[in-house]
């Protein structure tokens, strides 16, 4: 794959606390990635559809309501249905430590619970890109 990494930052569910999502979106943009922000109140189906339309490499979900397990289960079911289970999915928000392994079982690549530094997501994606480059023998 050539060009900039494309990332979808999404706010699923009814939670409207988007301070974190907006800060993280700018961090990704400043790191040279192409950021698409969905806005509030998105359904899992709408998010997966947006990811397809925008042809993104990474999906970042911001969830502060506590409903992360059911939202992520729905997102991954839809991704599998569309043959996109390889999508790198990151989740940030009000997530209890004991839920992290459960999110990872669903397929979430990394979880950023309260207290995560704001640049943790960018660093994670940069490492992932570097690893992927090494594996495929190409570089961005």
Partner 1 sequence: MDFKEEIRQARISWEKEKGVDKIPAVKSELGKEVKVVYGPEDVSEGDYLATIGFPGDYPFTRGVYPAMYRIRPWTMRLYAGFGTAEDTNRRWKFLLKSGNNGVACAFDLPTQMGIDSDHDLAQEEVGRVGLAMDTLRDMEILYEGLPLDKIVSSFNINAPGAILLAMYIALGEKQGVAAQELSGSLSNDILCEYVSRGMWVFGPKPALRLTTDIVEYCTKHLPKFYPFNIRGIIMREAGASMAQEAGFAFSNAIAYIEEVLNRGLKIDEFAKRVSFFFATGTQIFEEAARYRAARRLWARIMKERFGAGNPESMLLRFTGTVGGSTYRAQEPENNLVRGAYGLLANVLGGVQGMLHPALDEPFAIPSEETARLALRTQQICAYETGVTKTVDPLGGSYYVEALTDEIEREIVEILRKIEEMGGAVAAIEQGYMQRSIADEAYRTSQEELVGKRVVVGVNRFQAEEKKRKTEFHRWDPRMQEQQIERLRQVRSERDQAICRKALDELSRSAAGERNLIPPIIEAVKAYASIGEIMDALKEVFGTYREPLCI
Which positions lie near partner 1, rule CB under 8 A?
A: 9, 13-19, 22-23, 25-26, 29, 35, 37, 39-41, 43, 65-67, 69-71, 94, 96-98, 113-115, 117-119
- Closer to partner 1 by CB, 104 or 132: give it: 104
Q: In this complex, which beta carbon is closest to partner 1, that of residue 118 or of residue 130?
A: 118
| Least Å from the CB of residue 122 to partner 1 | 11
Indicate the burial class of 108 (C-beta count within 10 angstroms; 0-12, 13-18, 19 or more). buried
Question: Per-residue DSSP letters for 42-103?
Answer: B-HHHHHHHHHHTT-SEEEEEE-SS-HHHHHHHHHHHHHHTT-TTSEEEEEES--GGGHHHH
Nearest distance in Å: CB 87, partner 1: 21
CA separation (Å) from 31 to 5, 7, 25, 43, 85?
A: 10, 12, 10, 28, 25
Q: Which is nearer to partner 1, 1 or 118 (CB)?
A: 118
Complex with partner 1: residue 13 or 107, whichever CB lies closer: 13
CB of 126 to partner 1, least distance (A): 15
Q: Are 51 and 87 in contact (CB under 8 A)?
A: yes
The least CB distance from residue 85 to partner 1, in Å, is: 22
């Amino acid at each position: 794959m050539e060009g900039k990494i494309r990332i979808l930052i999404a706010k699923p569910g009814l939670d409207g606390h988007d301070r974190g999502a907006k800060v993280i979106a700018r961090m990704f943009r400043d790191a040279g990635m192409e950021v698409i922000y969905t806005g509030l109140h998105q359904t899992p189906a709408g998010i997966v559809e947006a990811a397809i339309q925008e042809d993104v490499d990474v999906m970042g979900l911001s969830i502060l309501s506590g409903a992360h397990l059911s939202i992520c289960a729905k997102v991954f079911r839809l991704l599998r249905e569309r043959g996109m289970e390889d999508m790198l999915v990151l989740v940030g928000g009000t997530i209890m430590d004991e839920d992290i392994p459960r999110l990872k079982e669903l397929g979430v690549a990394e979880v950023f619970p309260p207290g995560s530094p704001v640049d943790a997501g960018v660093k994670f994606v940069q490492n992932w890109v570097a690893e992927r480059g090494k594996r495929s023998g190409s570089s961005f």
